[in-house]
């Protein structure tokens, strides 16, 4: 259990084989906007934030707010960059945190030109290891609309277990009822993090 997560020190970035996962920085605004604009049609069915075209100024605000939330340990949004470059591959992070357990939910999206190349599975595997090894997570979840077969496939490839389906549990951004898959990985019983 962590009473004051803001005091928990951990890296702002880490590398996987092909990616750098890093918290947002002010200079990310324009490259992030370009990546989202390039991928907007593919993202719209699943990501409410992709429905509207934001201005450069709105992206500058978004990345600064993301940086603040990361430093406050309220949300760990991470840029996915080709390792050794500033090229945006997509976005991911650890969200809907409960530091008392601790548990986290991984979310992700991929820039269209990088889809189908294993980058998101690589990012999910990296974030999962980061959550368990660095953040002492006892549980990590992936939730997705049951219609989002590509997102569910990522969870399965990353070794997550489908724990269940919540039927009619929310309305999507088109105001339609949706069903949600809940995938999870848990720390083994003898290895539970208690401090």
Residue ranges and CATH numbers for the domains of the chain are: 13-191 (3.40.630.30)
Determine the pLDDT at residue 174: 82
Radius of gyration of the chain (CA): 16
Determine the pLDDT at residue 193: 55
Determine the pLDDT at residue 34: 94
Helices (H), the chain: 29-43, 56-71, 119-129, 149-157
In the chain (195 residues long), the average pLDDT of successive 10-residue segments reads 81 97 96 89 71 86 96 96 96 96 95 96 98 96 94 96 94 86 86 54
* Cβ-based neighbour number of residue 111 at 10 Å: 21
Structure tokens at 104: 């986290």
Determine the pLDDT at residue 172: 81
Determine the pLDDT at residue 191: 59
Mention every residue, 6+ apart, whose C-beta is less than 8 A from residue 162: 152, 155, 156, 181, 182, 183
């Amino acid at each position: 259990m962590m009473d004051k997560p803001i005091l928990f020190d951990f890296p702002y970035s880490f590398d996987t084989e092909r990616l750098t996962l890093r918290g947002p920085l002010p200079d990310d605004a324009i490259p992030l906007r370009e990546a989202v604009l390039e991928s907007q049609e593919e993202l719209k069915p699943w990501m409410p934030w992709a429905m509207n075209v934001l201005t450069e100024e709105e992206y500058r605000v978004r990345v600064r707010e993301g940086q603040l939330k990361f430093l406050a340990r309220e949300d760990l949004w991470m840029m996915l960059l080709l390792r050794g470059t500033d090229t945006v591959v997509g976005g991911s992070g650890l969200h809907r945190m409960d530091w008392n357990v601790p548990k986290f939910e991984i979310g992700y999206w991929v820039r269209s030109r990088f889809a189908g190349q294993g980058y998101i599975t690589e990012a999910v595997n990296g974030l999962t290891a980061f959550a368990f090894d660095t953040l002492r997570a006892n549980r990590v979840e992936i939730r997705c609309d049951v219609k989002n077969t590509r997102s569910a496939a990522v969870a399965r490839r990353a070794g997550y277990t489908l724990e269940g389906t919540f039927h009619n549990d929310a309305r999507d951004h088109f105001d339609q009822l949706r069903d949600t898959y809940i995938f999870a990985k848990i720390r083994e019983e003898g290895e539970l993090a208690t401090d």
